Chain A
Amino acid sequence: NFMLTQPHSLSESPGETVIIACTRSSGRIAANYVQWCQQRPGSSPTTLIYENNRRPSGVPDRFSGSIDSSSNSASLTISGLKTEDEADYYCQSYENGHQVFGGGTKLTVL
């Protein structure tokens, strides 16, 4: 199975834009859809992005997803950062019925 690698932590100021990368270790990033989950402190995860760039109903359009085949990675972009965006973010993909999560990125908004 492949691995998904994310930066351990990032910090950015309110109102700014942050990009969280997720690199697939083997196999093409485009071979299987990538999802992104948010987990606020003390809460269950929620899905922000599915199938690379689709948002479930209720997720603000400040959150967007994309993939880049040249770097074999996916990205979550959060624009107009708010203090409530401070959370852990996980990318997730799959292969042969098995789900794979990235290690998570702790985003600090200060």
Chain B
Amino acid sequence: EVQLVESGGGLVQPGGSLRLSCAGSGFNFGDYAMHWVRQPPGKGLEWVSGISWSGTSIAHADSVKGRLTVSRDNSRSSLYLQMNSLRSEDTAVYYCARAPSWSENWFDTWGQGTLVTVSS
């Protein structure tokens, strides 16, 4: 079964850091592009960042550029989101999502999400 499992969420103070992980299983992780999508409580979906299978192509939303950084380790079948200088507006459920390739801009598998709360 194809599965994505996020972890690493929690409560962090404004200005703090957090690292999210997404573990893939049931498929060859290195064959797919991966993305992070977030959803603030009671609000809609917002794309955060994406990375190609090799890591050579990366994109971040303007709202997170310079603070949130995506990376991956195909040998561990894992996707990461390093979150620095966190703000209250970063509070959200963070989903990882799989895309067939960097040029195919749709998500064929989503994780269950991990909640990040930025508050003092």
> Which A residues lie at the B interface, using CB under 8 A?
1, 32-33, 35, 37, 39, 44-47, 50-51, 56, 88, 90, 92-94, 96-104
B47 & A98 in contact (Cβ 8 Å cutoff): yes
Q: Which residues of B contact A39 (CB under 8 A)?
A: 45
A37 & B107 in contact (Cβ 8 Å cutoff): yes
Q: How many residue pairs bridge A and B at CB < 8 Å?
A: 62
Q: How many residues on chain B are close to A (CB under 8 Å)? A: 22
CA distance A49 to B29 in the complex (A): 23
Q: Which residues of B contact A101 (CB under 8 A)?
A: 37, 44-47
CA distance A101 to B108 in the complex (A): 16
A99 & B110 in contact (Cβ 8 Å cutoff): no
Q: Which of B35, B44, B62, B97 is packed against the most chain A CB atoms within 10 Å?
A: B44
